[in-house]
Structure 1
Amino acid sequence: MFDVLVYLYETYWRPDACPDHAQLTRKLSAVGFETDEIQEALSWLDGLAHAAESYQGEQGVTSMRVYSVDELDHLGEASVGFISFLASAGVLPPPMREMVIDRAMAIPGAPMDLEDLKIIVLMVFWSLGEEPDALILDELFVAPEDRLIH
């Protein structure tokens, strides 16, 4: 499913540029994605679209997030740490953080793989029509061992 999401991010600059589900399914099949993977991704994107529609900044900048036991188990330590890092850096405001957590909880399997969580973060930005700055893109895509320290 995550390969489909990355393909959509790279191919369509924003969600409203995507064709309807039937046409998108045909295009994704033609590219070589499996039907199950396509349907899972489209279903997940429907949930993301719903979350993006109800996105609003009702939580204050200083709000604190307390994770439930189920969320901690599902997300895993690395993912919770990454979400906290992005939030403390001011890159992931509380409403976007909640979208990330909601969409991560919709993925089966636990604990969440950190690389998959990074794709979810990217898709949340994409769904809101926001482009993450270069430093965040670097954090999302460049492996720590490949970073150059200046």
Structure 2
Amino acid sequence: MMMDILMYLFETYIHSDVELQVNQDELEEELLRAGFHQKDIYKALVWLEDLAALQQSERHSAISVCSAAASTRIYTNREKARLNMQCRGFILFLEQVNVLTTETREMVIDRVMGLETEEFELDDLKWIVLMVLFNVPGNENAYTLMEELLYSKEQGILH
């Protein structure tokens, strides 16, 4: 499953001291050895490339976005079908506690919609948020806060 590959890559290369400059062929071989299917590996790598491209386009975009306090995100029917009420509420919560900006929120939604999966749950969303925040420079504090929210044992609401 594509989400499993993304989580594997994130945990293996982000939460370790492993060098991030990995040859794509070597990475594909490693994922095959780990038991993932070639088709899913390809989709996951394309998903990551799209995340990098999205991050680049956001950085160079001169479009000003209204602040989250002054606007309300209206989800399309397709987005609502993928992001249930619990997921949408969590995204709103993350905006309210300044983990997500309007720009990073849109990146998260874009990457959620870019997943080729039938099932999508709140735990999957949390991983996507971490991946987006990690990949967008300037969001180190938001990334750390998100990690604290996810791993804090006192935050029963998020588990």
User: Which of 61, 65, 77 is matched with 1:59 structurally?
Assistant: 65
Report how far residue 141 of structure 1 moved.
4.8
Q: Which runs of 5+ in 2 are unaligned?
A: none
Structure 2 length normalisation: TM-score? 0.76
**Runs in 1 of length 4+ with deviation above 4 angstroms?**
none
Residue type at the aligned position of 1:31: A
Q: Which runs of 5+ in 1 are unaligned?
A: none
Tell me the secondary structure at the aligned position of residue 107 of structure 2. helix
Report how far residue 109 of structure 1 moved.
4.4
- My pick for the range that moved more, 20-29 or 44-53, is 20-29
Matched, 1:137 2:147: yes
Structure 1 length normalisation: TM-score? 0.80
Q: How many residues get paired?
A: 143
- Equivalent residues in 2 for 1:1-150, closer than 5 Å: 1-13=2-14, 17-56=20-59, 58-62=64-68, 63-109=71-117, 112-129=120-137, 130-131=139-140, 132-133=143-144, 135-141=145-151, 147-148=153-154
- My pick for the range that moved more, 83-92 or 41-50, is 41-50
Contact 1:76 1:111 in 2 (8 A): no
Q: In the TM superposition, what whole-angstrom CA distance separates every residue of 1:45-102 from its partner, at most 9, and x where no partner exists?
A: 1211111111247313234322122211221111111111101111100110000001
